[in-house]
A and B are shown apart, each in its own frame.
Chain A
Amino acid sequence: MSPASDDVRPAVRVRGAGLAFGPRTLWSGLDLVVEPGEFLAVLGPNGSGKSSFLKALLGMQDLSAGTVEIAGGRPGGANRKVGYIPQQRAIDESLTLRGVDLVGLGLDGHRWGFGFPGMAARRRLVSEAVDAVGATRYAKQPVGRLSGGEQQRLRVAQALVGDPEVLLCDEPLLSLDLAHQRAISELIDARRRSEGTAVLFVTHEINPVLPFVDRVLYLVNGQFRIGKPDEVMTTETLSELYGTRVEVLKVGGQIHIAGAQSALCEAEPHHHEHDVEEQVG
């Protein structure tokens, strides 16, 4: 911990955490402190427990060992201070929901009642959040009719409108084109720089966020490494992690991993179990 942040509590503190399903251990002995404003990428192949790690932070998944503290509370207890950006998924075109409604739910959707008081203040906060991600032009249109990139911009606004201390991102760039991947990553980066929001970014592809990443948590087969991208994303470290020869190539500011395609292959990145709708429109 740097001296300047001594008086600031960490955004996330993980101590001796382990997660096992039956005899299968996803990871164990995980110690991690994420500081406010830090950008941590969580990488690894399918089934390495990236998403389960995020679920544990949200309190949706019990750990088999260790403890987690997030935004100064236990997982699930401090969700008001935690923003969450899911992966882009098809939304029914006829769903009665506009962009502003989606963002508004991020602000107070968890509260009881209709919320008549404070409607004006609410509208202002929502429109500011929408404006900050450059989505004002289409924010009043049905969400289901927007493009994936437009939806993800609104998702960023939805996650940030509640002014979170920690932002958890679960493959938010999946199925977006390069331009939108860049735009969404930049929005997230700008936020953590201006407000000190810690970012935990689960992804199977580091390159879109590589310019912003402070540290990497790389999970493979029950093993993990934590460190700066330059330290973790090396031929030696990843070969050790995968237990087989892996070649890390750095080309034009990007990182490419060759030689363990079978272990790395993410041709079909995991979707959530309720994903039933087909992409339409």
Chain B
Amino acid sequence: MDLFDFGKTWELITELDGVQTALLAAAILGLVAGVLGPLIVMRRMSFAVHGTSELAFTGGAAALLLGIGVEYGALIGAVVAALLLGILGARDADRDSVIGVILSFGLGMGVLFLSFYKGRSGNKFGILTGQIITIDSTNLTLFVVSSVVVLAVLALVYRPLLFASVDRNVAVARGVPVKTLTVVFALLVGVSTALSVKVVGSLLVVALMVTPAAAAARVTASPWKATVLSVVFAEVSAIGGIVLSLAPGLPVSAFVTAISFLIYVVCRVIAWQRDRRTRVSAVEPALVAAA
């Protein structure tokens, strides 16, 4: 099979309205996910993001059953989940188990809702693995508005949020409202997760929200550069994934996750080689850093 038929790809991009909308949505999402990613990685919230996306699935499944828009259900599910995880899992010691408990319960409920749903089975699968091509102009509006709100709030709280994320004790001592920021960030993560569910599906949200930032963190220690790189990586993964999926007609999410994973591997190799050059006799930095 010819996976990369560029002529056919170009034809699909220019002639299908849905594809252009999807590319626009992917570009917006790449920006949102890329900007949030480094903060998620710094705050060690990768698993929380996964948990949040599973509850976006539960919300989406409930919405499907009730006959309202899946994206509204996913949004409600993700925001509730992010708040629960952000508040209950605020203590490091509890965090893993709290996420595991909520995630599995939510996933179970989602499966139950889907089993009651008698509609098209493609809709069911779409919540789990994404169906960006189905984004139309109405839900694009929701998509754009949500993204703008997330980016605007993030711009406002960015510095104290960074402070609270990397240097909690001193941030508290300096009067940064650390607890309030935890809730605000949970909300931002919830909304962005719901957006990602539409593109890559709830099972694969981590590929856009976490992997690009984790890759960036391997090659730079500057929060600014990490954010820029993370956005670039997320854009390449999201847009590249859609473009590559067109000609072969395979699922978008497969390409998005493959590209972001490939970027991550390349970044790790770069970091590994650099470490070997600079710290010849040091104690296995790559292994320690991987922990």
Contacts and interface: CB of A to CB of B under 8 A. Distances in A.
Interface in B41-79: 41-42
Contact of B173 (A95, A168, A276, A280): A168
Interface in A52-91: 58-60, 76, 79-80, 82, 84, 86
A110 B93 contact: no
A231 interface: no
A102 interface: yes
Nearest to A58: B173
A126 to B, nearest CB: 13
Nearest to B222: A98
A111 interface: yes
B159 A108 contact: yes
Contact of A280 (B41, B157, B216, B291): B291
Contacts of B163: 105, 109-110
A110 B159 CA distance: 7
Given A86-B173, A105-B166, 10 more contacts: A58-B173, A59-B175, A79-B173, A79-B174, A86-B170, A96-B42, A97-B167, A101-B166, A142-B221, A276-B93
Interface of B: 38, 41-42, 92-93, 155-160, 162-163, 166-176, 216-218, 220-223, 226, 282-283, 285, 288-289, 291
B168 A274 contact: yes
Contacts of B160: 109-112
A28 B216 CA distance: 52
Nearest to B155: A114
Contacts of A95: 42, 166, 221
A217 to B, nearest CB: 19
B175 A105 contact: no
Which one of B157, B166, B172 has the greatest number of beta carbons of chain A within 10 Å? B166
Identify the 5 closest CB pairs spanning chains A and B, nearest first: A109-B163, A142-B221, A79-B175, A84-B173, A94-B289
A96 B93 contact: no
A95 B274 CA distance: 17
Interface of A: 58-60, 76, 79-80, 82, 84, 86, 93-98, 101-102, 105-106, 108-115, 141-143, 145, 158, 168, 272, 274, 276, 280-281
Which one of A97, A108, A109, A142 has the greatest number of beta carbons of chain B within 10 Å? A109
A97 B170 CA distance: 15
Given A96-B42, A96-B221, A110 B157 contact: no
Nearest to A272: B169
27 contacts: A60-B172, A82-B174, A86-B173, A94-B289, A96-B38, A96-B166, A96-B222, A97-B167, A97-B223, A98-B221, A101-B166, A101-B222, A109-B159, A110-B171, A110-B176, A111-B160, A112-B157, A113-B158, A141-B221, A142-B221, A143-B221, A274-B168, A274-B169, A276-B92, A280-B288, A280-B291, A281-B283
